[in-house]
Amino acid sequence: MTPLQSLSLFELKNQNIYGLTFFTINKLNLIYMQLSSLLEENKTKLKNYIESEKIECYRIFNPTENFPFAIDKYLNRVLIYFYDEVSLEKKEQIIFELQNFFQISKDLIYTKERKRQKEGKQYEKLDSTYENFIIQENDYSLYINLKDYLDTGIFLDHRKSRKFVKEELAPKSKSVLNLFSYTSSFSIAASFGGSEFTTSVDMSNTYLEWSEENFILNKMDLKKNKLIRENILEYFQFLKKDRRFDLIILDPPTFSRSKKMKIPFDIQKDYVYLLNESLKKLNPAGKIFFSTNFQKFKLNSDLIPNSKIIDITNETIPNDFLDTKIHKSFLISKDSL
């Protein structure tokens, strides 16, 4: 493709001056033409990391001031998350650049808007295509859907977190409780790391069904890997008094409202209850993996007595995510003193 052909989708103004023809390009469109070079730069930087870790889905472009969107690669598919209002024309320009860069057809490029969502919006269906496909990660498989929901079935920013659970925590954890389990990728990681029993709890039937499909895909025993639909804030009340776990995983949303909840869930308000109740259900040598995407989150250790809290955020941010505030992670255990 010639340089002039690559401009075909952009605004070209034909100006005739003294018998000579000049082309001028809209300044904003010229900025979008830089996207390919930035993608090439990122691709080169990530090449060794992606190949050595055998990563099949990753973030190849992080949002910037000029480019308020993220680009994620899922095998031969591309997903764009727009964080600001973008006109249809500009979206077409971006898609055109991605088609050329990745050498893929337009139907393999998906777009979504990740603006400030209304309460509970993450559970609403966007479409009903059921276009699922399978990706591999750390020896296990997961179903992905890039079209039907705002989220895809896996949180890419927790890739290293899942590996940490699989390699560091699961080998010492016979029983695992995964709260706010979503599609249960953490449960699967724990199972493949050596955990014998997992219990995954979520309020969404949709995600629990998705979890079951993931379990079946990985040939996991459904009797040893239980799925429970329940309000997490009330779930502790239903557990037997002597029920204990070796590992408890907490990766809650920032805010959530569900029909099964009497009051909305707010991570900044409710983390104290969650962590203290989790500590009660933890075996003496057990661990809690706690994470949140709320960038303004502040953890007051004084409100979590008799505990040891270690901030492990830096160890859980993948190389392809430049935003070091994409999530915060903590490893929590009972204080032996």
Convert the pLDDT of each residue in 225-252 to its tens digit.
Answer: 999 999 999 999 989 999 999 999 999 9
Same domain, 88 and 175: no
Same domain, 119 and 164: no
DSSP string, 45-61: HHHHHHHHHT-SEEEEE
Same domain, 78 and 193: no
CA 203 to each of CA 78, 149, 165, 234, 266: distance values in angstroms, whole numbers, following the listed order: 29, 16, 23, 11, 15
Same domain, 112 and 159: no
Burial annotation 224-236 (CB, 10 A radius, 16+ → b, else e): ebebbeebbbebb
More confident residue, 120 or 58: 58
For 185, the enclosing helix (H) or strand (E) is helix 185-193
Last residue of a domain, one of 107, 123, 139: 123
How far apart CA 61 and CA 73 sit, in angstroms, is 9
How far apart CA 171 and CA 266 sit, in angstroms, is 32
Query: CB under 8 Å to 79, separation ≥6 — which residues?
Result: 71, 72, 73, 109, 110, 111, 112, 146, 152
Last residue of a domain, one of 123, 140, 165: 123
Q: Is residue 25 part of a domain?
A: no
Query: CB under 8 Å to 153, separation ≥6 — which residues?
Result: 142, 143, 144, 145, 183, 185, 210
Q: Is residue 143 part of a domain?
A: no
Other Cβ atoms closer than 10 A to 9: 17
Range of the domain at 189: 152-334
Last residue of a domain, one of 102, 123, 144: 123
Same domain, 84 and 182: no
Convert the pLDDT of each residue in 93-137 to its tens digit.
Answer: 899 999 999 999 999 999 999 865 444 444 456 666 778 999 999
Q: Is residue 189 part of a domain?
A: yes
Q: 257: pLDDT confidence band, cut at 50, 70 and 90?
A: confident
Supply the CATH number for residue 236's domain.
Answer: 3.40.50.150
Same domain, 202 and 112: no
Same domain, 159 and 294: yes
Q: Is residue 108 part of a domain?
A: yes
> How many domains does the chain contain in total?
2
For the segment 173-186, the average pLDDT, to the nearest whole number, is 98
- Nearest C-alpha neighbor of 80 from the set 65, 54, 99: 99
Burial annotation 47-81 (CB, 10 A radius, 16+ → b, else e): eeebeebebbbbbbbbbeeebebbbbbbeebbbbb
How far apart CA 60 and CA 55 sit, in angstroms, is 12
Q: By the 8 A CB rule, do 170 and 189 touch?
A: yes
Q: By the 8 A CB rule, do 69 and 63 touch?
A: yes
Q: Is residue 1 part of a domain?
A: no
pTM higher than the cut 0.75: yes
Supply the CATH number for residue 50's domain.
Answer: 3.30.750.80
Same domain, 253 and 161: yes
Same domain, 94 and 233: no
